[in-house]
Structure 1
Amino acid sequence: MLLRELPFTLAKFFVFDATTDAISSSLPALQEYGGASALLAGVIAGVVSGLLTTPADTLVTRLSDARARGEEAGLIETARSILANEPAALFSGLAPRCLLFGATIGGQYLLYDFWTRLFRVNPDDLNLVLDIFADRISFLNT
């Protein structure tokens, strides 16, 4: 699971951030349309995350199938088998995964943008909350 979830989450946030910055600098007019840049950046982040994690998901799926059939298979052996026999199979199901994650993550960031605009939350507010947590944690350590 770690091979799948950690890269997925890191890619999701990194690509969203980088795409949002690129959209802001190259298409500043898009910022006027509430949520459009968040949706677009979220879709791109979802597609890239799906692309990066499809091989790991394929390995986990193949490993689960082998274990369900009663075969004793390890992650390394399963990866070697796929790479030796059918390396393109690592990307099986790529299009549906990219479509699913693009839509899901695009929707998540659209909702995030909607709620932050509705409640007028800005990055300084979030930093204030983090500063309060840091202060409480340092208080507990003394």
Structure 2
Amino acid sequence: MGSSDAKSSAKAAAAKPDGVDRDLGGYGKRKPFQVSVRDDRPLDFWRIVCEGVVAGGTAGVVVEAALYPIDTIKTRLQAAHGGGKIALRGLYSGLAGNLAGVLPASAIFLGVYEPTKQKLLRAFPDNLSALAHLTAGALGGLASSLVRVPTEVVKQRMQTREFASAPSAVRLIIAREGFRGLYAGYGSFLLRDLPFDAVQFCIYEQLRIGYRIVARRELKDHENAMIGAFAGAVTGAITTPLDVIKTRLMIQGATKQYRGISHCVKNIIQEEGPAALMKGVGPRVLWIGIGGSIFFGILERTKQILADRHSKSP
């Protein structure tokens, strides 16, 4: 290969920094816009992990703090048996303790999701990118569940006004139910959150790819937010029955009203009717829809800021 050919190849590679791209064709005198599905540059694993940790932790804390009252109402609706009324006082009960768990949980999730996604996109053909996003979302959810489940148990027990503070909740749960009490409903949590995380992130990533192809440009902050809201609302609606089951198992405490997931479902249907499995769907869709908008908007902006800082560093 001659030196001129080498220079041409170098220029072509520089023009496609995101690796394997789909050329969408030129329009006007502008250069063609290309959508990257995977990145063929050397994988900077630890940088991707660190950026995911920072971006995930930031987005998770902001969303939780902003939308906690809606989540509290949703939890109380799901916990109420029959037509019981719910209290609208103390809607921020347990927020501080929850933030202490949400920060590391969100950081762990994105710290696992981002490098796993990059590795799988390199391994899979372009037409299986959705499978890469699904798998990465599920693995991220599994890793973060070790922190998310105790956080969720304490949060929901405080939201239902069983405990006054997070430290006392942790202490009393362990005293009454043992350490396993902090992982009450772990199976139902995974049953809800693994498909939730996988589906939500898959919908979000695939819609972003499609949007960029149609728009022939990179997305703006408000467009990422709108796609995140849609992905969150849809996923939140279809996983509501799993959320109801998870809530009932987590808040039952030492009473052991339910012996497991199947027994919980059977009791709810027999005593309250099938419609009870959709309790709290309104607040849940609202909460996760708005939360998805904020989360993904902040996530993409934070990732961009970190990427810009990295590109400017020597």
Same fold (TM over 0.5): yes
What residue number does 1:130 align with?
Answer: none
What residue number does 2:226 align with?
Answer: 40
- 2: distance between equivalents of 1:96 and 1:3? 20
Give 1:23 shift.
2.1
What residue number does 1:100 align with?
Answer: 287
Bigger share in helix: 1
Pairing of 1:14-53 with structure 2 (within 5 A): 14-26=202-214, 28=215, 31=218, 34-53=220-239
Structure ranking higher on relative contact order (CA contacts 8 Å, 6+ apart): 1
Pick the structure with greater CA Rg: 2
Work out which of the residue numbers 173, 189, 194 in structure 2 matches 1:6.
194
- 1: distance between equivalents of 2:286 and 2:194? 20
Give 1:64 shift.
4.0
- 1: distance between equivalents of 2:195 and 2:227? 18
Superposed CA deviations along residues 1-59 of structure 1, whole A, max 9, x for unmatched, are 11121111111211101221232233x17846x21221111101111221132111111
Aligned-residue sequence identity (percent) comes to 24
- 1: distance between equivalents of 2:253 and 2:267? 17
Decide whether aligned partners of structure 1 residues 119 and 69 sit closer, same or farther in structure 2, where only a CA change above 3 A counts. closer
Q: CA RMSD in A?
A: 2.5
Superposed CA deviations along residues 77-126 of structure 1, whole A, max 9, x for unmatched, are 121233345111111111111111111121111112212333445xxx9x
Decide whether aligned partners of structure 1 residues 23 and 69 sit closer, same or farther in structure 2, where only a CA change above 3 A counts. same
What residue number does 1:57 align with?
Answer: 243
Work out which of the residue numbers 73, 78, 85 in structure 1 matches 2:258.
73
Decide whether aligned partners of structure 1 residues 116 and 78 sit closer, same or farther in structure 2, where only a CA change above 3 A counts. closer
Decide whether aligned partners of structure 1 residues 30 and 55 sit closer, same or farther in structure 2, where only a CA change above 3 A counts. farther
Q: Supply the AA of the counterpart residue of 1:70.
A: T
Decide whether aligned partners of structure 1 residues 64 and 31 sit closer, same or farther in structure 2, where only a CA change above 3 A counts. same
- 2: distance between equivalents of 1:105 and 1:92? 20
> Taking structure 2 as the reference length, what is the TM-score of the superposition?
0.34
What residue number does 2:302 align with?
Answer: 115
SS of equivalent to 1:73:
coil
